[in-house]
Amino acid sequence: MTDESANQGIPAPEGASDIIETDYEIGQDNIETKIGPFGLDIHNPVFLISGISIVLFVFYTLALPEQAGGVFTWLFNFVTQQFDWFFLSAGNIFVLFCLLLIVTPVGKVRLGGAAATPDYGYAGWFAMLFAAGMGIGLMFYGVSEPMSHFGTSLGGIAVGEDGMRTDWAPLGGAEGDVEAAERLAFAATIFHWGLHPWAIYAVVALALALFTYNKGLPLTIRSAFYPILGDRVWGWWGHLIDTLAVFATLFGLATSLGFGATQANAGLNELFGIPVGPTTEVLLISGITAIALISVLRGLDGGVKILSEINMGLAFVLLLFVLLVGPTVAILTGFVEYLGAYLQYLPALANPIGREDVNFEQGWTSFYWAWWISWSPFVGMFIARVSRGRTVREFIICVLLIPSLVCVLWMSVFGGAAVEQVVADGYTAAQDAPLELKLFKMLAELPLAGLTSLIGIILVIVFFVTSSDSGSLVIDTITAGGKVDAPVPQRVFWCIFEGAVAIVLLLSAGGLASLQSMVISTGLPFTIVLLIMCWAIWRGLRAERNA
């Protein structure tokens, strides 16, 4: 151990943790300066490169919309169609790796050292990781995805002239068999929202938490690469990794904020007749950004945590309502049956090679995997930020198994109620409605539709606020070289920047869609990153056990 007083950056191992020794001092590359009256503490060059390249990309998309659209769509198709086997295989590896961590002795390792105590209680912790992970997706896909698979499964297989399947049914479909189609539809939906996405998040979050809390490296994506790149992570390799993460996070947030605004607008139109158009959408984005700003200014505990808890409470109330007022028995038996169907179809759905259901496998599964992976730096880093003090076993159980079960429950209740409406009552409004309205059409069949739809819209908006807020925190931390105590104006900047990018893209034709394609394409390089992370986690945990 080097003399501590000589160099502040040399870590001191405390308790049973295996700190990595490096001469890098956190914040050594940072610039502390003032722009106008505002103090800044930013990483050089990650902050500037990320900011400038984001602006350039927005300009490119605006100046040459057709060319940009073409390039990004091509890239997206190339990635999800050529590398489907790679995404599916990697997804399976992540799930198996996480399950392995639960049962092996390394599961005892505690994040933050043997003596660390959890930063957050179970309720607040779980609410935050769930809200960051997929809250918003569940609002939109809870009804629509099971219905979609149900319809295609029921339709059965269709083969084109070239011998390739032209239908979108999962696996072999279930032509004309309502019960089998229902089981297959829910198995496929749960497959996309269950173990696999959460394993992706768990890997990234665990890597970051381990290298930050136990190894003493800064809380940025590059730290997880230390076992491979060594001190080179503090140079251009690390700048590249961090910039890519900022890029994916900001564009991911901005595009979903843009799409979310269009969808919330449709919902408001359905309920209150508020006109659909750019004015309302810009107002919605501004409103969401403004609430996010207040939340950002209130900090992690006073902002994101409280909002996440409120939203989880509201979501639970809505879930309970649909469960009790809707077809209760059908939903409850459905929950057990769908879970069984998931386990039954899992090997076939997760099979990466020789698939005949190409449309489903590439258009749904491969797309989803790329999507989850492109979100993983953001969600993983946020989960890492709030998970100090948990053991690895506890961490994996709470980040992988419990959220998966909650997703099964959610899909069974919302999707189950909607499918039951079609099957039992012949009510097809939800089936026929566009994506953003399916939830509201389903609720319209139940009592108190006005109130529940309003709760639905509030949920959508607050989930966007928590995403925007936690995203700003993550980007700020990465662009401050891993410092979580950088001046507040910086995170305010990122929060506003994100809203502004969303508005600009929204107002340009096709801007949102083409940039979203680009974001999802970043899933490919990040998949390799995640595979490396698994190895790094394993090595890191082994060293920790021997510490």
Partner 1 sequence: MFTHIMVPVDLAHTGALERALAVSADLAKQHGATVTYVAVHAATPGAVAHTPEEFSEKLAAFAAGQGSAHGVTAQSHDVVSHDPSVDLDDKLMAAADEIGADLIVMASHVPGLADHLWPSNGGKIARHFKRSVFVVRGE
Least CB distance to partner 1 at residue 27 (A) = 4
Distance of CA 508 to the CA centre of its chain: 25
Region for residue 27 given its phi and psi (left: phi exceeds 0; alpha: psi -120 to 50; beta: otherwise): left
Cα-Cα-Cα-Cα dihedral sign, residues 438, 439, 442, 445: negative
Should residue 290 be labelled a site residue for partner 1 when binding is judged by CB under 8 A? no
* Site map 165..204 versus partner 1, x via CB under 8 A: ----------------------------------------
Region for residue 31 given its phi and psi (left: phi exceeds 0; alpha: psi -120 to 50; beta: otherwise): beta
- Residue owning tokens 């940039």: 515
Site for partner 1 (CB under 8 A): how many residues? Answer: 47
Least CB distance to partner 1 at residue 70 (A) = 42
Interface with partner 1 by CB under 8 A: which range of 72-80, 276-284, 384-392, 448-456? Answer: 384-392
Should residue 216 be labelled a site residue for partner 1 when binding is judged by CB under 8 A? yes
Query: Cβ neighbours of residue 5 under 8 Å, at least 6 residues apart?
Result: none
Interface with partner 1 by CB under 8 A: which range of 15-23, 314-322, 349-357, 457-465? Answer: 15-23
Query: Cβ neighbours of residue 497 under 8 Å, at least 6 residues apart?
Result: 51, 54, 250
Should residue 113 be labelled a site residue for partner 1 when binding is judged by CB under 8 A? yes
Alpha carbons 254 and 256: distance in angstroms, whole number: 6
Looking at the Cβ atoms of 139 and 486, the one nearer to partner 1 is: 486
CB–CB of 245/421 below 8 Å? no
Q: In this structure, what token pair is assigned to residue 383?
A: 């989960």
CB–CB of 34/230 below 8 Å? no
Strand partners, 391: 110
Task: Estimate the crossing angle of helix 511-521 against helix 236-272, to 10 degrees.
Answer: 140
Interface with partner 1 by CB under 8 A: which range of 74-82, 292-300, 314-322, 459-467? Answer: 292-300
Q: In this structure, what token pair is assigned to residue 197?
A: 């996405």
Should residue 212 be labelled a site residue for partner 1 when binding is judged by CB under 8 A? yes
Should residue 484 be labelled a site residue for partner 1 when binding is judged by CB under 8 A? yes
Should residue 37 be labelled a site residue for partner 1 when binding is judged by CB under 8 A? yes
Binds partner 1 (CB under 8 A): choice among 456, 487, 499, 540: 487
Should residue 306 be labelled a site residue for partner 1 when binding is judged by CB under 8 A? no
Looking at the Cβ atoms of 56 and 484, the one nearer to partner 1 is: 484
Looking at the Cβ atoms of 22 and 311, the one nearer to partner 1 is: 22
Give alpha helix (H) positions in 421-546: 429-432, 438-444, 449-479, 488-507, 511-521, 523-546
Least CB distance to partner 1 at residue 222 (A) = 13
Binds partner 1 (CB under 8 A): choice among 1, 3, 6, 12: 12
Q: Which helix (H) or strand (E) holds 32?
A: strand 30-35
Q: In this structure, what token pair is assigned to residue 286?
A: 């501004």
Should residue 386 be labelled a site residue for partner 1 when binding is judged by CB under 8 A? yes
Write out the binding residues for partner 1, residues 519-538 only, by CB under 8 A.
none
Should residue 218 be labelled a site residue for partner 1 when binding is judged by CB under 8 A? yes
Binds partner 1 (CB under 8 A): choice among 69, 327, 380, 482: 482
Binds partner 1 (CB under 8 A): choice among 43, 388, 390, 393: 388
Alpha carbons 10 and 28: distance in angstroms, whole number: 13
Should residue 132 be labelled a site residue for partner 1 when binding is judged by CB under 8 A? no
Least CB distance to partner 1 at residue 507 (A) = 28
Give alpha helix (H) positions in 83-134: 84-103, 122-133
Terminal Cα-to-Cα distance of the chain (whole angstroms): 15
Should residue 297 be labelled a site residue for partner 1 when binding is judged by CB under 8 A? yes
How does strand 30-35 pair with strand 38-43? Answer: antiparallel
CB–CB of 218/238 below 8 Å? no
Should residue 233 be labelled a site residue for partner 1 when binding is judged by CB under 8 A? no
Q: In this structure, what token pair is assigned to residue 342?
A: 């998931």
Least CB distance to partner 1 at residue 350 (A) = 35
Is 118 buried (19+), middle (13-18) or exposed (0-12) by CB count in 10 A? Answer: middle
Should residue 494 be labelled a site residue for partner 1 when binding is judged by CB under 8 A? no
Least CB distance to partner 1 at residue 207 (A) = 15
In angstroms, what CA-CA distances link 284 with 228, 340, 457? 44, 41, 12
CB–CB of 264/539 below 8 Å? no
Interface with partner 1 by CB under 8 A: which range of 233-241, 270-278, 371-379, 479-487? Answer: 479-487
User: Is the bond into 489 cis (omega within 30 degrees of 0)?
Assistant: no
Should residue 273 be labelled a site residue for partner 1 when binding is judged by CB under 8 A? no
Should residue 219 be labelled a site residue for partner 1 when binding is judged by CB under 8 A? yes
Question: Which DSSP category does 105 fall into?
Answer: G
Binds partner 1 (CB under 8 A): choice among 84, 119, 270, 498: 119
Interface with partner 1 by CB under 8 A: which range of 10-18, 58-66, 192-200, 412-420? Answer: 10-18
Looking at the Cβ atoms of 331 and 381, the one nearer to partner 1 is: 381
Least CB distance to partner 1 at residue 206 (A) = 15
Should residue 227 be labelled a site residue for partner 1 when binding is judged by CB under 8 A? no
Should residue 27 be labelled a site residue for partner 1 when binding is judged by CB under 8 A? yes
Q: Could you list the residues that contact partner 1 (CB under 8 A)?
A: 4-5, 8-9, 11-12, 14-15, 17, 19, 25-28, 36-39, 112-113, 116, 119-120, 212-213, 216-219, 297-302, 385-386, 388, 482-489, 491
